[in-house]
């Protein structure tokens, strides 16, 4: 699995050939359990967009460990999760599909559960998905896309925190600004070629499990 993810990161950074990433099974992830959990009106819902070819329910490298860490830090609140339903592959429409699904889900969930708050989590291509959803275009970034949907103003106060890891827009000199800036933690590991212009350490892009606890602490402080 680590080799496959390394190949994905290298391809995104312009290294290995895309042919090494063509197997559809690499994108397989189960969203059934997360979707079912999100149907309940919990205090907090973690909405996670995984990275390119990343396995795991919410994402093996970021989403799953962040969710586990956050559960421990907000023990007095009920938590549920939702895995953004999108290909997370190298298709030029992949991030746009995630953008649409994230916005549609949060909008409908907020309507059904008016007291629920949200923590948005995005890793690598998933960070592009979240960026677009909060109104920051990822067009021009690695596996980015133009904005196709944004969270409505009525939902904005319900988003407690935005957690981004290996965010590709940083490599093109962009960042989260405006309404969500003070609620955003945007982590780029030193040398990560996906988020750091000129970065050359592919392994850094796979290191974000190490930041799960700090990210959960940040989010808990916003809830």
Backbone angles phi, psi at 136, to 5 degrees: -110, 110
User: Which residue in 64, 101, 192, 211 is the catalytic one?
Assistant: 192
205 is catalytic: yes
Residue 192 among the catalytic residues: yes
Looking at 48, 81, 94, 124, which residue is catalytic? Answer: 124
Told to judge if 105 belongs to the known catalytic residues of this protein, a careful annotator would answer: no
Q: Which strand (E) or helix (H) includes residue 48?
A: strand 44-49
Determine contact, residues 118/128, Cβ cutoff 8 Å.
Answer: no
**Torsional class of 143: left (φ above 0), alpha (ψ -120 to 50), beta (otherwise):** left
Measured from the Cβ of residue 36, the count of other Cβ atoms closer than 10 Å reads: 11
Contacting residues for 21 by C-beta, under 8 A, at least 6 apart: 4, 7, 8, 11, 53, 89, 90
The one catalytic residue in 131, 133, 205, 211 is 205
Q: How far apart are CA 151 and CA 64, in angstroms?
A: 24
Note whether 98 and 126 are within 8 A (CB).
Answer: yes
Task: Just list the catalytic residues.
Answer: 124, 192, 205
């Amino acid at each position: 699995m680590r080799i496959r993810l390394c190949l994905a990161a290298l391809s995104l950074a312009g290294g290995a050939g895309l042919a090494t990433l063509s197997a559809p099974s690499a994108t397989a992830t189960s969203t059934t359990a997360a979707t079912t959990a999100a149907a309940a009106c919990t205090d907090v819902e973690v909405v996670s967009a995984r990275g390119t070819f990343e396995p795991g329910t919410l994402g093996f490298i970021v989403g799953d460990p962040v969710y586990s860490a956050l559960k421990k830090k907000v023990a007095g609140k009920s938590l549920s999760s939702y895995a953004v339903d999108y290909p997370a592959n190298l298709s030029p429409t992949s991030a746009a599909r995630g953008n649409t699904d994230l916005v549609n889900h949060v909008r409908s969930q907020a309507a059904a559960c008016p007291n629920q708050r949200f923590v948005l989590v995005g890793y690598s291509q998933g960070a592009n998905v979240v960026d677009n959803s909060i109104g920051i275009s990822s067009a021009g970034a690695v596996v980015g896309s133009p904005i196709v949907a944004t969270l409505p103003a009525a939902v904005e106060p319900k988003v407690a925190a935005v957690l981004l890891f290996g965010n590709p827009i940083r490599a093109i000199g962009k960042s989260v600004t405006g309404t969500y800036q003070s609620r955003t933690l945007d982590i780029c590991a030193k040398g990560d070629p996906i988020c750091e212009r000129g970065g050359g350490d592919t392994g850094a892009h796979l290191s974000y499990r190490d930041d799960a606890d700090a990210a959960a602490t940040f989010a808990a402080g916003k809830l």
